[in-house]
Copies of this chain bind each other. A is one copy, B any other.
Amino acid sequence: MDKLISRRDLEFLLYEVLDVEALTRRERYRDHSRETFKDILDVATRIAAEHFATHNKKGDQEEPWFDGEKVHTIPEVKAALEEYRKAGLFAATHDYELGGIQLPYVISTACGAFFKAANIATTSFALLTAGNANVLRKYGSQAQQKKYLIPQLEGRYFGTMCLSEPHAGSSLTDILTRAEPQPDGTYRLNGSKMWISGGDHEVSQNIVHLVLAKIPGGPLGVKGISLFIVPKYRVEPDGSLGEPNGVKMAGLNHKMGYAGIPNCLLSLEDAVGELVGEPHQGLSYMFTMMNEARIGVGMGAMALAYTGYLHALEYARERTQGRRLGDKNPTSPAVPIIQHPDVRRMLLMQKAYAEGSLHLCLYAARLVDEERTASTPQAAEQANLLLEILTPVVKGWSSELGLKANELAIQVHGGYGYTREYNVEQFYRDNRLNAIHEGTNGIQALDLLGRKVGMQGGAGFELWAGEVQKTIAEARTQTALQGYAEQLAESLQATTDVTRALLGRAAEGAVERAFANSFAYLELFGTVTLAWQWLQQAQKSLGKEGPFYQGKLEAARYFFNYELDKVPLLAARLKRLDDMFVCPEQDWL
């Protein structure tokens, strides 16, 4: 099963490009080495191939069902997660004291790529649990950690995030779930929560819901949102399971993909909850999980793009059809379709998107390690700031490119790709969710332009631009890359100019006009960011022998000639600041 993620490519990115080995010189990771990374990547590769990929299609075709009492999933889901648990993967990044092995987040993310490529639905149980655990590790009391964190790190309880409600998806200001304080210090929660992945099932012993709700009398809007732990079964002081809590399954959503994990409407009916941290700080706590989830979504989109690409590549090498252009001799043998220019175009696009996004996602994951283990608080803050600005790009742009890649993986397969007898149509259906969940890409674009690039007086943007500039400066010294360096420099300048112009207009009060084209801004920023990543990959490939490195140089060439060339067009659209998308008084739509 070598069609998940290329280990060769992964190792190129980890060691030749991102120098992840340097992390092993940090105190936290001192017990690690390239060998320990290899061991855990081997384990992840094996379990993903043997236990996750093997039921990906079955999980899609036999989606979870609710019998009125319980939500059922195919048994392979539980069996696969049991292997994941036994390998210690739930706790891997955590402290030794919590049962972890202090694995760098970037290596854990790399492991996750194999699982997502193999079976994004089943993997989601584990990754939601990991995100939930990270919130409790950061903000939970010691008692809460004992009750709810440890069992998640042991893989006995799974976690969810409960933010959206049926009437409020993107707009958390408007959530209605209420949490009434009780004399015993707990809260009683009532309300409806929508789109809860892993919201109910029998795969784990218990489910830890992290729920956003409002305490009556609190501030209006998002400032009045608090965070609660609401377990499916109440947990007794000795850790044993008690009564079912008031979390009722109100319905399953039937999705076009990601079918293997139940997605639920939950009804909270006098459910007992424990407040996490301080009242009214819930949203900021939840952003820990949301930011992680957003990087996870980008990774998922990338992983599906990557495995789709490897499937298409194999198919294109094996399938023969037609002759080379210009060869009109009907007796010459049919050639593998990889020789046809339009097929190569589609493969190269997929390669550029998948391998470029993998680089970006790993870069973002490495920033998490940087933030955690940097030698100075300033360095940690810088890593955090860079991560803040890149998060909407990792989520939003990887999911746009990933979906396009899977569309092309089908196209390379022709009619076969449209059938369930092959795998790529499922990747495409699964991947369609990634532009939607954890904040639609429209929301990501607004987050990027309306919040992130302007935050701290533009410090995040300048930091990002400075990093891109470093790569440009280095590439200018490499003859073969000077053209790319100049093109990227011009693109960066155009992005900087546009950013200033838009933020300036917003500051003057024309907020709607300035941000109306935010999606084009995401496209611009995402394209420049990936070009920057590809330039780094080209730098590390230059002068090295063999088809692997040549493929990297060709993909970089593709990216600069067929993607980064859009920058002047995108910048021009943004600079026009036209009112095309601003809602008029009298609507004509």
A11 in contact (CB, < 8 A): no
CB distance from A320 to the nearest CB of B (A): 8
Q: When the two chains form their complex, are residues B436 and A169 in contact, meaning their CB atoms are under 8 A apart?
A: no
Q: With A331-B220, A581-B342 in contact, is A419–B587 under 8 Å at CB?
A: no
Q: Complex Cα distance A578/B164, Å?
A: 49
A 394-428 contacts with B by CB, 8 A:
403, 407, 410-411, 414-415, 417-421, 425, 428
A458 in contact (CB, < 8 A): no
A351 in contact (CB, < 8 A): yes
Q: Which of B167, B432, B550, B583 contacts A341 (CB 8 A)?
A: B583
Count of A interface residues, CB-CB < 8 Å: 98
CB distance from A158 to the nearest CB of B (A): 21
A 215-240 contacts with B by CB, 8 A:
220-222
Q: When the two chains form their complex, are residues A256 and B411 in contact, meaning their CB atoms are under 8 A apart?
A: no
Q: With A254-B421, A425-B256 in contact, is A587–B338 under 8 Å at CB?
A: yes
CB distance from A321 to the nearest CB of B (A): 5
Q: When the two chains form their complex, are residues B169 and A420 in contact, meaning their CB atoms are under 8 A apart?
A: no
Q: Which of B174, B428, B561 contacts A334 (CB 8 A)?
A: B174
A380 in contact (CB, < 8 A): no
Q: Complex Cα distance A554/B169, Å?
A: 30
A330 in contact (CB, < 8 A): yes
Q: When the two chains form their complex, are residues B583 and A339 in contact, meaning their CB atoms are under 8 A apart?
A: yes
CB distance from A578 to the nearest CB of B (A): 7
A253 in contact (CB, < 8 A): yes
CB distance from A487 to the nearest CB of B (A): 13
Q: Which of B338, B515, B573 contacts A561 (CB 8 A)?
A: B573
A440 in contact (CB, < 8 A): yes
Q: Complex Cα distance A254/B313, Å?
A: 22
Q: Complex Cα distance A403/B432, Å?
A: 13
Contacting residues, chain B, for A257 (C-beta < 8 A): 418
Among A68-76, A358-366, A442-450, the one that faces the other chain is: A442-450
A488 in contact (CB, < 8 A): no
Q: Complex Cα distance A194/B419, Å?
A: 13
A348 in contact (CB, < 8 A): yes
A512 in contact (CB, < 8 A): yes
Q: When the two chains form their complex, are residues A221 and B330 in contact, meaning their CB atoms are under 8 A apart?
A: yes
Q: When the two chains form their complex, are residues A572 and B565 in contact, meaning their CB atoms are under 8 A apart?
A: yes
Q: Complex Cα distance A168/B320, Å?
A: 9
A 74-117 contacts with B by CB, 8 A:
none
Residue from A171, A253, A340, A581 having most chain B Cβ neighbours under 10 A: A581
* Overall SS of chain A's interface: helix
Q: When the two chains form their complex, are residues B253 and A586 in contact, meaning their CB atoms are under 8 A apart?
A: no
A143 in contact (CB, < 8 A): no
Q: When the two chains form their complex, are residues A342 and B554 in contact, meaning their CB atoms are under 8 A apart?
A: no
A 464-521 contacts with B by CB, 8 A:
509, 511-512, 515-519
A558 in contact (CB, < 8 A): yes
- Closest residue of chain B to A410, judged by CB? B432
- Closest residue of chain B to A420, judged by CB? B254
Q: With A347-B589, A351-B589, A588-B554 in contact, is A437–B415 under 8 Å at CB?
A: yes
Give me 18 other A-B pairs in contact (C-beta within 8 A), A195-B415, A547-B588 excluded. A167-B321, A169-B321, A255-B420, A338-B589, A340-B442, A341-B582, A341-B583, A343-B442, A345-B516, A351-B589, A411-B435, A411-B436, A415-B436, A417-B436, A418-B432, A429-B429, A547-B587, A558-B580
Q: A-side interface residues toward B, CB under 8 Å?
A: 164, 167-171, 173-174, 194-195, 220-222, 253-257, 313, 320-326, 330-331, 334, 338-348, 351, 403, 407, 410-411, 414-415, 417-421, 425, 428-429, 432-433, 435-437, 440-442, 445-446, 450, 509, 511-512, 515-519, 547-548, 550-551, 554, 557-558, 561-562, 565-566, 569, 572-573, 576, 578, 580-583, 586-589
A–B pairs, 17, beta carbons within 8 Å: A170-B321, A253-B419, A325-B450, A341-B516, A342-B445, A342-B446, A342-B518, A342-B519, A344-B582, A345-B580, A345-B581, A346-B442, A411-B441, A425-B432, A429-B429, A554-B588, A558-B580
